[in-house]
Chain A
Amino acid sequence: MGHAQSLNITEMRMLSPSPTNCAAIDLDDSQWLITHLNELPKQTKLCLRSQLHIEENSIQGSSLYLSMLASSKIYWDGELINENGNVAQTRVLEDAGEIDIIVQIPNRLLAQGTHQIAIEVSNFYVDNNIKSSFYGFRIIETKQFYDYIVTNSILSAFILGCLFIFSILFQLLFWLYQRQNIYQIFSLLCFFSACLLLTEKWRVMFGLSYDLQSLRLQLVMLFTFINSLLLPAYYLVYNQSTYKTRWLFLVFSVLLASLLLSYDYDDKAVAMYFSSLLITFLINLMAIKKGKKGIWLNTFIILFGVILFLAEPVKFTEDRFALTLFALIAVMLVSLIQEMKINRLRSLASIRLEAELLKRNLQPHFLMNSLMLVIEWIEEKPNAAADFVQALGEELRMLVKFSGLSHVSLEEEVALCRRHIEIMSYRYDTQYTFNVLGLEKSILIPPAIIHTQIENAFSHNVIPNNAHFTLEIIQQKNQTKLILVSPYNLNENDQSLHQRSKSEGSGIGERYIKSRLEECFHTNFSYQSYSEGITWVNIIQIWGKV
């Protein structure tokens, strides 16, 4: 056999219950059943025997590696070379050994020729839920084995450390910086991924007595369940998906079904991983379809996870789910930090918008024109001047109040618009009317956006006397439409001063409306502004809750 290769043993002659002279070289085992080690009986004491041919002295410095849920005594050519736990006839007497053992074979026993391996095994603590109590039996190079253990442990320890630190960091962010649900979910996902990885790697890193294997597997199931739930939950919140509760309910039901319907631990895990990855993938696909940016990489990793899973579902249950999670978490971390940056810019933008609203409405042009009228009326019609000043005061008071808010009720917005139209009626010495159809008080919108549309109508247009403004509110199942129809003075003459910009969404006012809507509804809105004969139509359409 090659120097670097290991020698796998998967079948041995078996006798259960074990005879007292299991290790004896001269014992005749020719009538014993040749059994695959995956199919060993449970909760019994057995004797396993096998012959091994060593052709040359090439496996000097080798070790026996045995991984099974049992206490064991290993004999090499009748000589006891390892005792793991206390092999016994009954559960009471048995002292559970470690799952994984590595036994250096003395060089004197590795001579060329045929050797006799015998293992006395008792496995009274094996749980019936466990499909196979055997994981591996091979002769391996000692150094290679320890190298593998050390590399694997260091890598796992590194990832564990990262995950725990992320978890703590995002708890701190949540409690001390910003109470964002996404931080909490991310922190929990890191924490439970770490827990999952730790329980999975505990055996390799620290060794584990085989009677605790069931407990370990139950913990793995628990953490898998939690992570499988948190993963889609994270993306539901991150993508601001609609129907979050329904999605979560779906995930929860599928996971619960996976837990209850499958018998074996591995099957349960496989079902949970698969459904979680698949649902998360769907959630992200839907978000991408809706125009969500910046989750391509996430979605790609999830898809990669699904492919990895489909290729080798069993290996996936060992540690690849935790590793896929770690890869995802690394990408999530980048997205979250980018999101923080965007949030900061957004809050700056929001302050700017407040200032803009104030500036735009307390701007000289509106005030000075109004004051001009006051001067005129003080001389000519003092009573009208007093009424006008009062109306003006009320509009300004409302605007000042609005400027500090991110939302106002549609009712308040309508009141502001009425005020403005009243003031413009005074100024143009006519009676403009404002009809509101289907007013829904519960609707919340960004402040002064309808007001700005009305203002625009006045500043880009000669509004005829006694003109009508109409605001129609249409609420359908999942969308809200606010349609403002204002008079539009169609000017044939291109030289007109009052030429209204035909390009959609230009101008300071339009920019203000769009920024405010973006701040409030992100991408879940549309805004149109166009002329239709002698009217100008502004349509705000909002999807989801308003």
Chain B
Amino acid sequence: MHVIIVEDEPAILRRLERQITELLGDKLARLNCFNNLDDAQDYINHQAIDVLFLDLNLQGRDGFSMLSTLTASSFHTIIISAYADKAIEAFEYGVLDFIAKPFTKTRLQQAINRLFDTHKRQDYGVRYLSVKQAGITQLIEISQIDYIVATGHYSEVFFNKKTRLHDKPIQKLLTLLPPNFEHIHRSYVVNMNKVASLKTEPGSKYTLILNNGKELPVSRTRYTKIKDKLNK
């Protein structure tokens, strides 16, 4: 796992570096530290990373527009901030976790656990999925999303008859999404609130029909779970 940390106070940066190294152990492939985001971004532009631990000043709009740019990227973002009152808003923008300062090692452990637990869903109210298109970050309301299709390392997000490409792979996206998003097929994640019906066809072929008429394949292994969820 390739991790970078951005923190402007040297003592805190050293603490994060030390504790993250300990907690990740063997899983840590590379760790880079920066005392400002500019340098970190230069680095990110040339290197693929997995997770960013970021101390961000969330006072004012600038911090959040920065945040939406980051969450549109392929890596997960974990915020470490003294502005604890901004946590809910940060989650709305799709951060994986928000660690309020001052934090303990245990809290850091929890955040790291979330990186690996792909089945756990976001309990917090994520509201937007930010996507980059032609260098501009756009926020998509989560509730508007119909479904997401995996395309290689990227994901294709379908909403309101539109499509956008997201930099995160579908597995990573799924951890950020609320529980009403269900993995119905290796390559498909659907917003269950948009589902009209489940169709069974001969030869154990299952199809999910969305409100907008779109038909999506359901894999056999996931059929029972989907059916239960729809009957609820």
- What is the interface of chain A, defined by CB distance below 8 A to chain B? 364-369, 371-377, 380, 427-429, 459, 462, 491, 493, 495-499
Contact = CB atoms under 8 A, between A and B. Distances in A.
Contacts of B25: none
Interface in B62-100: 62-63, 66, 69, 82-85, 100
A364 B11 contact: no
Interface stretch (B35-43, B148-156, B167-175, B221-229): B35-43
B220 interface: no
A373 B12 contact: yes
Given A368-B101, A368-B102, A429 B36 contact: no
B83 A462 contact: no
Contacts of A374: 102
Given A380-B15, A459-B59, 17 more contacts: A364-B82, A364-B83, A364-B84, A372-B12, A372-B82, A372-B101, A376-B11, A376-B14, A380-B11, A427-B11, A429-B11, A462-B8, A495-B41, A495-B66, A497-B36, A497-B62, A498-B36
Nearest to A367: B82
Contacts of B14: 376
B83 A373 contact: no
B85 A364 contact: yes
* 9 cross-chain pairs, A with B, having the tightest CB-CB distances, nearest first: A368-B82, A372-B102, A429-B10, A365-B82, A371-B102, A372-B101, A368-B101, A376-B15, A369-B82
Contacts of A373: 9, 11-12
30 contacts: A364-B82, A364-B84, A364-B85, A368-B82, A368-B84, A368-B100, A368-B102, A369-B82, A371-B102, A372-B9, A372-B12, A372-B101, A373-B9, A373-B12, A374-B102, A376-B14, A380-B11, A429-B11, A459-B57, A462-B8, A462-B35, A462-B36, A491-B38, A495-B38, A495-B41, A495-B66, A497-B37, A497-B38, A498-B36, A499-B62
A497 B9 contact: no
Contacts of B38: 491, 493, 495-497
Prevailing SS type, chain A contact patch: helix
A369 B56 contact: no
Interface in B1-46: 8-12, 14-15, 35-38, 41
A367 B100 CA distance: 12
A201 to B, nearest CB: 67
A428 B83 contact: no
B156 to A, nearest CB: 27
B90 to A, nearest CB: 14
A186 to B, nearest CB: 47
Contacts of B59: 365, 459
A350 to B, nearest CB: 25
Nearest to A388: B11
A502 to B, nearest CB: 13
Contacts of A371: 101-102
Contacts of B56: 497
Nearest to A375: B102
Given A364-B85, A459-B57, A372 B10 contact: no
Contacts of B41: 495
A376 B37 contact: no
Nearest to B6: A497
Contact of B63 (A368, A369, A495, A497): A497
A497 B57 contact: yes
Interface in B81-129: 82-85, 100-104
Contacts of A497: 36-38, 56-57, 62-63, 66
B35 A377 contact: no
Nearest to B60: A507
Contacts of A372: 9, 12, 82, 101-103
A496 B6 CA distance: 13
Contacts of B83: 364-365
A428 B10 contact: yes
A349 B69 CA distance: 39
B57 to A, nearest CB: 6
B220 to A, nearest CB: 47
Most chain A beta-carbon contacts within 10 A, residue among B59, B62, B66, B102: B102
Contacts of A380: 11, 15
Contacts of B36: 462, 497-498
B204 to A, nearest CB: 52
Given A369-B101, A376-B15, A459-B57, A496 B37 contact: yes
B153 to A, nearest CB: 24
Most chain B beta-carbon contacts within 10 A, residue among A365, A459, A462, A495: A365
Contact of A369 (B9, B10, B85): B9
Contacts of A459: 57, 59
Contacts of B11: 373, 376-377, 380, 427, 429
Contacts of A427: 9, 11
Contacts of A366: 82
A427 to B, nearest CB: 5
A237 to B, nearest CB: 43
Nearest to A498: B36
Nearest to A368: B82
Given A368-B101, A462-B35, A495-B66, A376 B84 contact: no
